[in-house]
């Protein structure tokens, strides 16, 4: 079986063509990088395919890491693999990032794979001596993962040293293998998996809701990206963090598949901070939902989301943008007013609160002359 494998989930871009019958890699490329995966991946795939001597018609499967990892990186690899698979009629197999890293370790024995998840957390997964996953990826502290590791476990991943140190144990062994997914190593895993629906991203850690402890400061320029239905899980997590009655991932999936629906997400170093969801018809658009994580509210995230999307809608020729905001939400109304929104109406008792009903203010902004 000929497998094209690729990874962009962490701090590298890795591509390989693996021949499972001869148990060797026909061609491979590995490039460490913190960002720029979207630009690097297509030419790397083209070069690896050329070096392998195969055409896409000879590829039986595509293997791609599904996370955990950086929000942007996971989406880049999945979008590319799914697009290529659909275009070429090739089955796409998702492999979680920690299983991909586990494939780097040649030694037999219990294995603990741990990767840095930031904010004093790690992603972890356990494997038995035969390489079978016995604990699916989960979020933990370094100390917990180390304490719960099997006796004599080999520890591998970007958080390996932190886990061993925090555990205080002497029987854990640090692996010398690569701490990142390597396409030439994990591609063969896809041969033993049954193709099904297109893989989805694996997001283990919901956005943090820690209160801001320091003086508020404006956040610098954010990376604002379009989010499709594959980002429904993270959109749902953000929505639950911002609103009392959060929407499910399925609700976001259904909504983003309707004509005219668009979502964008604001990211800082790969971490989602806020989102904006709109729907347009004819020459009008409405903001369905906008939210900023509590830990970064009043720091300019919503303004950046609105400013960019207002310009994008205007470029498309839309003429008006509408939104609804609770009458008591003076901070949001002030933001909208500063961006050119004016009051266009009021809906009596629109919002159902614990303490009773509240009016919604309808606001409108002209987008194009």
- Interior CA angle at 38 toward 1 and 305, to 5°? 135
- Report how far residue 124's alpha carbon sits from residue 142's, in angstroms, rounded to the nearest whole number: 9
Give 64: exposed, middle or buried? Use CB within 10 Å, 0-12, 13-18, 19+.
buried
Token match 């950086």: residue? 70
* Active-site residue, selected from the candidate residues 286, 324, 351, 358: 324
Give Cα 316 distance to the centre of its chain: 27
- Report how far residue 331's alpha carbon sits from residue 61's, in angstroms, rounded to the nearest whole number: 51
Q: Is 324 noted as a catalytic residue in this protein?
A: yes
Count of C-beta atoms within a 10 Å radius of residue 296: 21
Q: 67 Cβ partners below 8 Å, 6+ apart?
A: 9, 74, 96, 97, 201, 202, 203, 204
β-bridge partners, 30: 14
Please state, in angstroms and as integers, the Cα–Cα distance from residue 35 to each residue in 25, 100, 232, 270, 364, following that order. 26, 20, 23, 9, 37
Q: Is 350 noted as a catalytic residue in this protein?
A: no
* Active-site residue, selected from the candidate residues 105, 121, 123, 336: 336
Choose among 101, 93, 92: nearest CA to 137. 101
- Residues involved in catalysis: 324, 336
């Amino acid at each position: 079986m000929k497998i094209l494998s690729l990874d962009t989930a962490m701090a590298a871009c890795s591509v390989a063509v693996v021949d499972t019958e001869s148990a060797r890699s026909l061609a491979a490329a590995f490039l460490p990088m913190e960002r720029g995966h979207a630009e690097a991946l297509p030419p790397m795939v083209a070069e690896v395919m050329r070096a392998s001597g195969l055409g896409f018609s000879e590829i039986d499967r595509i293997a791609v890491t599904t996370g955990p990892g950086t929000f942007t990186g996971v989406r880049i690899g999945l979008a590319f693999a799914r697009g290529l698979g659909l275009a070429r009629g090739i089955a796409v197999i998702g492999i979680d990032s920690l299983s991909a890293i586990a494939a780097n370790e040649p030694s037999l024995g219990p294995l603990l794979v741990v990767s840095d998840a930031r904010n004093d957390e790690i992603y972890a997964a356990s494997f038995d001596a035969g390489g079978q996953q016995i604990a699916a990826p989960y979020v933990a502290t370094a100390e917990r993962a180390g304490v719960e590791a099997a006796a004599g476990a080999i520890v591998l991943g970007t958080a390996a040293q932190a886990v061993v140190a925090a555990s205080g144990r002497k029987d854990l062994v640090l692996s010398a293998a690569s701490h990142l997914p390597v396409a030439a190593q994990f591609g063969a895993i896809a041969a033993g998996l049954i193709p099904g629906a297109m893989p989805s991203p694996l997001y283990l850690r919901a956005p943090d809701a820690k209160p801001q402890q320091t003086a508020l400061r404006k956040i610098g320029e954010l990376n604002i990206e379009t989010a499709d239905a594959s980002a429904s899980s993270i959109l749902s997590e953000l929505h639950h963090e911002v609103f009392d009655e959060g929407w499910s991932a399925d609700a976001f999936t259904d909504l983003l598949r309707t004509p005219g629906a668009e979502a964008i997400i604001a990211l800082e170093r790969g971490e989602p901070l806020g989102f904006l969801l709109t729907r347009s018809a004819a020459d009008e658009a409405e903001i369905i939902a906008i939210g900023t994580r509590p830990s970064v509210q009043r720091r300019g995230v919503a303004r950046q989301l609105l400013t960019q999307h207002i310009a994008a809608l205007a470029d498309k020729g839309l003429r008006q943008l509408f939104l609804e905001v609770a009458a008591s939400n003076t901070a949001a109304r002030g933001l909208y007013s500063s961006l050119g929104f004016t009051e266009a109406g009021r809906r009596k008792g629109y919002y159902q609160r614990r303490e009773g009903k509240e009016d919604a203010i309808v606001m409108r902004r002209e987008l194009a002359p």
